[in-house]
Amino acid sequence: MTSAWRRILYVDLSEKKAELKELDRGWVKEFIGGSGLACRLIYSMVDASMDPLSPASPLAFMAGPLVGTSAPSCGRHVVCGRSPQTGLWGEANAGGAFGARLKKAGVDGVLIVGRAEKLSYLYIRDRECEVKECEELRGATTFEAQDTISRDLGERASVACIGPAGENLVGLAGVANDGGRIAARCGLGALMGSKNLKAIAVSGSLEVKPAKPSEFKRAASEARQQILELLTTSMYRELGTSGYAEMGQEIGDMPAKYFTQGVFEEVSRISGVAMASTILVGRRACYGCPIGCGRVVKLSGRYQTPETDGPEYETVAALGSLLLVSDLEGLAYANYLCNLYGLDTISMGVTIGFAMLLYEKGAVTKEDVGFELKWGDVEAVHRLIEMTAMGEGFGKQLAKGVKGLAARYGMEEYAAHVRGLEIPMHDPRAFLGQAVCYATSPRGACHLQGDVWLVDLGQEFPEVEITSGDRFSDEGKGYVAARCQNLRSVYNSLIMCQFANVSVKLIADMLSHATGWSYSVEELMKAGRRIFDLKRCFNMKLGDTAASDRLPKIVLEPLKEGGTQGHVPDLSRQLKELYEARGWDPETGKPLKETLVELGLEDAARDLWGS
């Protein structure tokens, strides 16, 4: 008995066949689950000659060993594959109940190849998988698709689906589930769309049983208590993640006017406090989560929506302060449109912001766009979201993200991305150590693959030497970043919400009692290191190099006003420290051969260094 089923459904859409496969025991133990196990499974299936949108390009939906158990804040799932947006490793996780229902269907994940002849969806229940045609859903929004499939199945199921953006192979497309939850980043909705796969519906009746029930129950109960005692828990419950907006603006972390402005004076109009007193009608929690950070909003004035998921902090910043939008209802409607069409709000906001900057500089004209682009014009934002999702007019250019816009219109030094993925809403000038996290994240700029910004706000894990420091100092940040990357690789493999910051020893105990395998803190952190470095090897196998470990000029220029106080990160110093901490070659950025052998990644060592 173990919480890890060690089974995966392998689906070939071209053949319209599904097969239940048993997973290698060693792989499951060493890569845990989630994005770690997905990378191990996918690694040998891709090469540089393969188009990310080809039928052979694999797409994985994964749960983890704590998902579906009583472990708190472990109700998530992750979507993985080769990103159509970056051409490199892609992963995006989401909350809700889809992950738990996938586990209760008796599998740890679904691995999909091929392309369906007609638009189809998968129906998975208790280790059985049926490929069902659904041409009538072509062009359906994510909400329409979820409602229709759930109604047709006639039972309680979670549905993960793409909207028009995914069908149109938009590079910013995500995969929505359980209403407005969305695995948004890396354009994996386009990968799903390329397979003519509209959705995956899951339900199950199988109980996920830990190997040591009583010990696991005690550990899970202690973890829940630790989460409830976190200061952030009460803030997230009362105000949602956008409760951070005013503080983020004050300290310079919340970017404004496309990373060129240090102050957004109207932040109080779009914050979590403002939302709570205006459009908020309820709160929502993911499966088994004691935090309940999700917002439920309803617009009934100038914009009309049903009760729907409200904007999170990243969205409030990306579609708000970054664009100088101070209209909360207009911002919430922009979030609704992104969820409706299946779009990443971070990449969408950053791409629109870059377009506005290009327009301001004269590189993009009214003739290019079809109308004027002015900072703060939320109606223009709505039009651009719809044009992007539908692949219409200027939206065809936005669909390529900031990297694509820069290739077309110039000003590449102001294209806010790393490895083709747009920079999220934590300014590396406010927390200098975040610079190296962005620069070396395997999926491109990401605040979740390594979160020194949160550490320097006070979130520490002293048992693994992750401790706070001066946010404006570069010293030692590369070393702390490496440890953060290892720990968050564990989180993204369990899969555990990163708001559930409990002791690492307790995480190791929960995993040990759930699976029946023994994990020490050291073994857990080594697993995280193994997972992170395999993703690095995945990218380098596809042609990525150390030259990608960079940040664009736009976030390396000092701001004259605001909480960043004129600081900029010394990325070269941070990279030197991180390479040393990770055991990477200082010239090529490759994980050293001896590093890979130590981690049990001999195949990756051969790929990068030869026999």
Based on the fold, state whether residues 271 and 387 are members of the same structural domain.
yes
Number of domains present in the structure of the chain? 3
Q: Work out the average pLDDT over 334-342.
A: 99
Q: Work out the average pLDDT over 508-535.
A: 98
- Specify if 543 maps to a domain: yes
156 pLDDT above the threshold of 90: no
Q: Work out the average pLDDT over 444-471.
A: 97
- Specify if 329 maps to a domain: yes
- Specify if 48 maps to a domain: yes
User: Given pLDDT bands bounded at 50, 70 and 90, which one contains residue 2?
Assistant: confident
- Specify if 220 maps to a domain: no
Based on the fold, state whether residues 402 and 257 are members of the same structural domain.
yes
Share of the chain above pLDDT 70, in %: 100
- Specify if 451 maps to a domain: yes
Residues 263 and 248: their CA atoms lie apart, in Å, by 10
Q: Work out the average pLDDT over 72-91.
A: 98
Based on the fold, state whether residues 182 and 291 are members of the same structural domain.
no
Based on the fold, state whether residues 464 and 396 are members of the same structural domain.
no
Residue-wise pLDDT tens digits, 166-211: 999 999 999 999 999 999 999 999 999 999 999 999 999 999 999 9
Predicted pLDDT at 3: 86
Choosing from 356, 378, 411, the residue where a domain stops is 411
Based on the fold, state whether residues 340 and 381 are members of the same structural domain.
yes
Predicted pLDDT at 611: 78
- Specify if 474 maps to a domain: yes
Predicted pLDDT at 155: 78
407 pLDDT above the threshold of 70: yes
Nearest to 270, CA basis, from 232, 334, 321 = 321
End-to-end CA distance of the chain: 39
CATH at residue 300: 1.10.569.10
Based on the fold, state whether residues 57 and 130 are members of the same structural domain.
yes
Based on the fold, state whether residues 440 and 545 are members of the same structural domain.
yes
Tell me whether strands 417-418 and 421-422 are parallel, antiparallel or unpaired.
antiparallel
Which residues span the domain enclosing 358?
241-411
CA distance to 18, 88, 536, per residue, from 539 (Å): 29, 5, 5
Residue by residue, DSSP assigns 187-200 as GHHHHHHHTTEEEE
Q: Which amino acid is at 421?
A: L
Choosing from 203, 218, 252, the residue where a domain stops is 203
453 pLDDT above the threshold of 70: yes
CATH at residue 494: 1.10.599.10
Residue burial 157-178, b: 16+ Cβ < 10 Å; e: rest: bbbbbbbbbbbbbbbbbbbbbb
Choosing from 355, 384, 411, the residue where a domain stops is 411
Q: Work out the average pLDDT over 548-572.
A: 97
Residue burial 254-269, b: 16+ Cβ < 10 Å; e: rest: bbbbbbbbbbbebbeb
CB–CB of 34/63 below 8 Å? yes
Based on the fold, state whether residues 344 and 437 are members of the same structural domain.
no
Q: List Cβ neighbours of 411 (8 Å cut-off, separation of 6 or more).
A: 357, 358, 361, 363
CA distance to 108, 369, 395, 410, per residue, from 358 (Å): 45, 11, 15, 9
Backbone torsions φ then ψ of 303, nearest 5 degrees: -110, 145
Predicted pLDDT at 559: 97
Based on the fold, state whether residues 187 and 311 are members of the same structural domain.
no
Average pLDDT, the chain: 98
Residue-wise pLDDT tens digits, 32-49: 999 999 999 999 999 999
Nearest to 40, CA basis, from 607, 611, 601 = 601
Residues 544 and 395: their CA atoms lie apart, in Å, by 28
H or E element in which residue 120 lies: strand 120-125
- Specify if 225 maps to a domain: no
Residues 170 and 167: their CA atoms lie apart, in Å, by 8
Based on the fold, state whether residues 133 and 92 are members of the same structural domain.
yes
User: Given pLDDT bands bounded at 50, 70 and 90, which one contains residue 100?
Assistant: very high
CATH at residue 122: 3.60.9.10
Based on the fold, state whether residues 406 and 438 are members of the same structural domain.
no
Q: List Cβ neighbours of 214 (8 Å cut-off, separation of 6 or more).
A: none
1 pLDDT above the threshold of 70: no
Residues 299 and 333: their CA atoms lie apart, in Å, by 8
Residue burial 324-336, b: 16+ Cβ < 10 Å; e: rest: bbbbbbbbbbbbb
Residues 199 and 196: their CA atoms lie apart, in Å, by 9
Nearest to 343, CA basis, from 193, 139, 175, 144 = 175
CB atoms within 10 A of CB 587: 8
Residues 441 and 447: their CA atoms lie apart, in Å, by 9
- Specify if 127 maps to a domain: yes
Residue-wise pLDDT tens digits, 41-72: 999 999 999 999 999 999 999 999 999 999 99
Based on the fold, state whether residues 263 and 129 are members of the same structural domain.
no
Share of the chain above pLDDT 90, in %: 98
